[in-house]
Amino acid sequence: MSRLGGEKVEVLLSEAQLAARIAELGARISADYAGQPLTLVGVLKGSFMFLADLARAIDLPLKVDFIGTTSYQGTKSSGVVRITNDLSRPIDGEHILLVEDIVDTGLTMQYLLENLATRHPASVKVCALLEKPARAKVQVPIAYKGFSIPDEFVIGYGLDWDGRFRNLPFLGVVKP
C-alpha cells in the first residue's frame, strides 16, 4: 500500500509547479526584507513542508519559529481557533512573516493576526501557499500568495484530511 492508502487522488498542483512558485515567492521576500531582521513563523501543523522549502528559497539571515493552531474536524472548520503550541520566545520589535499552507475561511489567520499584534512586533505579514477565495468568511491581507484554488478540500504537501496525507509531495484532491 502506498502513501495514498488506497484512495484515488487527483493532482491539483505538481511538485514542479509548487517548487517553481516557491522559488518566485522566495526571491520576492528576499528583495523586500533585505537589511531587515526577518522571522518566519510557521503555522503548524499544515505549513511544515511549505516552510521548509520557502526558508531555503529566501537568501537572507532569517530566524524561524512556529505556532500551532487547530480548528478543523475532518473537512469542516469548527469556527473556533485554538493555539496548540505557542511561539518559543517574544517577538517585540521583529518583522514577522506568518507562513501558512492555506487560507480557507480566513478565521485562523484573522485570529493569529489579532493575537500577534498584541505582542508588539515591528510588522506582521502573511505568506500563504494557497487561498480558497470562494470560502472566505473574513478577508485576510495576504502579502505573498502562491495560488488561488477552487472550492475543493485539498490534501498533501503538509495538508491533511483527518491527520492523513500530509506526506504527499504534491497537492491533490481525493476523488470518490
Ligand X SMILES: O=P(O)(O)OC[C@H]1O[C@H](OP(=O)(O)OP(=O)(O)O)[C@H](O)[C@@H]1O
Name the strand (E) or helix (H) holding 39. strand 38-44
Q: Which residue lies nearer to ligand HPA by CB, 50 or 72?
A: 72
Q: Which residue lies nearer to ligand HPA by CB, 33 or 161?
A: 161
Q: Which residue lies nearer to ligand HPA by CB, 54 or 154?
A: 154
Q: Which residues bind ligand X (CB under 6 A)?
A: 43-46, 69-72, 77, 100-108, 160
Q: Which residue has the cell 499584534?
A: 117
Q: Which residue is nearest to ligand HPA (CB)?
A: 104
From the list ligand X, ligand HPA, none, which binds 70 (C-beta under 5 to 8 Å, kind-based)? Answer: ligand X
* DSSP 3-state of 109: helix
Among residues 166, 168, 159, 153, the alpha carbon closest in space to that of 2 is found at 168
Q: Which residue is nearest to ligand X (CB)?
A: 46
> Do 153 and 174 contact (CB within 8 A), yes or no?
yes
Q: Which residue lies nearer to ligand HPA by CB, 147 or 153?
A: 153
Judge whether 104 counts as a catalytic residue: yes
Q: Nearest distance from residue 24's CB to ligand X, in Å?
A: 22
Number of CB atoms found within 10 A of residue 141's CB: 9
Q: Nearest distance from residue 75's CB to ligand HPA, in Å?
A: 7
Q: Is 98 exposed, middle or buried (0-12, 13-18, 19+ CB in 10 A)?
A: buried
Residue type, 3: R
Q: Which residues bind ligand HPA (CB under 6 A)?
A: 72, 102, 104, 153-155, 159-160
Cis peptide before 45 (omega within 30 of 0): yes
Indicate which residue of 104, 151, 160, 162 is catalytic. Answer: 104
From the list ligand HPA, ligand X, none, which binds 42 (C-beta under 5 to 8 Å, kind-based)? Answer: none
Phi-psi map region of 79: left, alpha, beta (phi>0 left; psi -120 to 50 alpha): left
Supply the residues annotated as catalytic: 104
